[in-house]
Structure 1
Amino acid sequence: MVERETEAKSSGSGVTNPYHRTEHCDKIHAYRCDKEVGVIGIDISKEHLITSRGRVRRYENKKEGYEEILKMKPCTIVLEPTGVYAIKPSQYFKERGVRVLQVSPNVLSREKEFRGKKTDFYDAEKLENMVDKAKEYDYNPLKEMTTLYLFLKDIETKYKNRLKRALFLVSDNDKVSKDRLEKLAKGDFTQEELYQLEYTPLVLEEIKMLAKNLLETQERLKEVRRMIEGQVPQDHVLLTIPGVGRLAAGIIIGIVGDVKRFPKPESFVAYCGLDPVVERSGRAVISRGISKRGNKYLRSLFYFLAVRSYSRNPTLLKFYETHKDRLKGRKLYVALARKLARVVWSVWYNNRPYEPK
């Protein structure tokens, strides 16, 4: 549904503000009210789409609003990828033959020149003029499956921790094996050595529920894992790296998307939160570990892969042998994870199979 009571006023500087329609509207909006336009910039929020052209420039973020925008017959739409709110309209326009481009939020913030008060209408106009700095919208199915997989992994961890807590309250064994989990889910406590305390019956009900939910979550994880592995091409260049399997490759692709947005390995390492924090004061150089400002899932994945498979990767093994006397314990494995992130970037960015160095 279109909100027709609000329109936009355009000034010579390009700053626009909502206003109520006046008798001068036709003259003011002549250049933005064509029935057929070439490029439209759209500022997206959860509720609305704000367009850079059209007599009515505020539309609801749903099908009726999309159809109204398509009536202007745009050939190209430029928008900012504002998370989940931009996916549906982007895909909708693309499937109806409209070219959809996306401008990185970082690029957009550098290009904005605020004159007066910032408005969504101004942002839409700015997006319209950034066609040359935008990239083609491409839906990544691995992104949806990866976010679902990581969501379920978080739930699995919470269920496990809660179940261990409950088991500790009524027994001396909080280990959760597959066989024990199945028995607990059925309410079979015959082989359990339980403390008969006042709260024991209530905790046993909690254990039964948690065990059942944990088993269901693990089954869902297996299904999503198969889906992710099925989306990774057999000849994908990441699979040439020793220790990187189809699931790991799928998660990396799903989270990162387009590796070309990282022109240097340092930027990719920083995105993973594995970049070192160094403080300098005079001649003193103090290392403060890693920043942890990037994607926590990638950071955990690279750390896990480094610990598990460094001995199978010639590059990581050489790094390990070189630095094992200087770095100890977790610091060494964090350094290995950072090295692996650089290897992944190099192989993927250059689209060349892994070669030991």
Structure 2
Amino acid sequence: MNQVPHEIGVDVSKDELVVATYGVGPVVRLANRRAAIRRWLRQLPTGCRIGLEATSIYHLPLAELAHAAGHCVYVLNPRQVARYLGSLRQRGKTDLLDAQGIARFVRNETDQVHPFTPSSPAQRGIASLIHRRHLLVKQRTALRQSCRGEPWLRQAVQPLLAEYRQLLAKLDAELEVLLAQVPGLAGQRQRLQSIAGIGPLVSLALSNRLSQTDYRRSDALVAAFGLDPRPRESGTYQGRRKLSKQGHPEDRRLIYLAAQGACRTGLWQAERTQWAARGLSKTAMNCIIARKLLRIAFAVWRSGKPFDPSLIGKQTCAGT
């Protein structure tokens, strides 16, 4: 067996995995079942680099088993992979071509991609319940708004809204149970709550994210939340910057809400006055504060010390 590590791309679906190795070997098709994955992994040389797209939960068996077998696994953003595959000018789109393109991505483009680290069941449960909590709150809000113009209907839905409140209370209680199952997470969450604007839910989501990925710099955390502005410049042309919006939209929504809450505390008033004088909109200013909150959270997480509000305003980082 060849002992040279390979760069491998895998196209994942619910029932099948299509595997392509960069530069060598035939394409392999195997069932997306743990037994079949284990048999295939035993045939690989040690230390392979394996890339696959995040596809709901269907990528998790391969990612977890490959990581346990000692391989370096990259769970890739589907939108980034789609753009990369489109740039290759392949003559069509098939599972085989996608697997080959992912193998090429692993070969050339993973220098700034965090390798996959398996989450504990409690960490996965926290992320899942936070997402489902958002869906419940969104549905409740839509129900309230749809009944606003009908007094009798607004009264009739009160029992249903009470059921929503009870369900959300049970969900929040379950989140606390899961939090207690992750060592050290409760203490870190409490320190994050010392940051103005970051409340119980945002601190839980943020601490759960930081506990799963070892970000080297605060800029990497900002980029993971999709809040990094992308410049559009060419020669004398200065285009409008837009957020990358990478990562999970619920995480981005929560930190944006935290920025709105931080604005109400008055800590950022001097900075907001400067930004308003430059013509920035409220949304742009909230995005700037959201980035600052993520950088502060990164520093609090790394240092293990609570937030010191006296540091706000000592350095002007407008637009960062």
TM-score (norm 2): 0.64
**1:260-275 alignment to 2 at 5 Å?**
260=215, 264=219, 268=222, 271-273=225-227, 275=229
**1:268-283 alignment to 2 at 5 Å?**
268=222, 271-273=225-227, 275=229
- List alignment gaps of at least 5 residues for structure 2: 315-320
* Cα offsets for 1:169-221 (capped at 9, x unmatched): 4628x3xxxxxxxxxxxxxxxxx6xxxxxxxxxxx5xx488346524531343
Identity across the alignment (%)? 11
**1:191-340 alignment to 2 at 5 Å?**
207=157, 210-211=160-161, 213-227=163-177, 229-230=179-180, 231=182, 232-235=185-188, 238-239=192-193, 241-254=195-208, 258=213, 260=215, 264=219, 268=222, 271-273=225-227, 275=229, 291=243, 293=245, 296-310=249-263, 312=265, 314=267, 316-320=268-272, 322-323=273-274, 326=277, 331-332=281-282, 334-340=284-290
Aligned AA for 1:93? A
**Do the aligned partners of residues 313 and 343 (structure 1) sit closer, same or farther apart at CA in structure 2, a change above 3 Å counting?**
farther
Residue 86, structure 1, aligned to residue 41, structure 2: no
Residue 161, structure 1, aligned to residue 169, structure 2: no
- List alignment gaps of at least 5 residues for structure 1: 1-33, 175-191, 193-203
Counterpart among 36, 42, 46 of residue 71 in structure 1: 42
* Cα offsets for 1:73-128 (capped at 9, x unmatched): 54234232411332221112334x43332165558976999597572453465367
Work out the number of aligned pairs and report it: 286
Cα distance in 1 for partners of 2:150, 2:53 equals 45
Which residue number corresponds to residue 295 of structure 2?
345
Counterpart among 127, 131, 152 of residue 146 in structure 1: 127
Cα distance in 1 for partners of 2:275, 2:199 equals 26
* Cα offsets for 1:205-249 (capped at 9, x unmatched): xx4883465245313431343246444341467455333245312
Cα distance in 1 for partners of 2:252, 2:159 equals 32
Aligned AA for 2:66? F
**1:75-154 alignment to 2 at 5 Å?**
75-83=46-54, 84=56, 85-95=58-68, 97-102=69-74, 104=76, 106=80, 114=88, 117=91, 119-120=97-98, 122-123=100-101, 125-126=103-104, 129=107, 133=111, 135-141=114-120, 142=123, 144-154=125-135
TM-score (norm 1): 0.59
**1:167-182 alignment to 2 at 5 Å?**
169=150, 171=152, 174=154
Which residue number corresponds to residue 318 of structure 2?
none
Which residue number corresponds to residue 28 of structure 2?
57
Shift of 1:55: 6.5
Contact 2:19/2:27, CA 8 A, preserved across alignment: no
Higher relative contact order, chain-length normalized (CA < 8 Å, sep 6+): 2
Contact 1:272/1:298, CA 8 A, preserved across alignment: no
Cα distance in 2 for partners of 1:323, 1:308 equals 19
Over the aligned positions, Cα root-mean-square deviation in angstroms equals 4.8
Contact 2:10/2:52, CA 8 A, preserved across alignment: no
2:8 aligned counterpart, secondary structure: strand
**Do the aligned partners of residues 338 and 276 (structure 1) sit closer, same or farther apart at CA in structure 2, a change above 3 Å counting?**
farther
Cα distance in 1 for partners of 2:164, 2:86 equals 48
Aligned AA for 2:173? E
Shift of 1:347: 4.8
**Do the aligned partners of residues 109 and 218 (structure 1) sit closer, same or farther apart at CA in structure 2, a change above 3 Å counting?**
closer
Aligned AA for 2:60? I
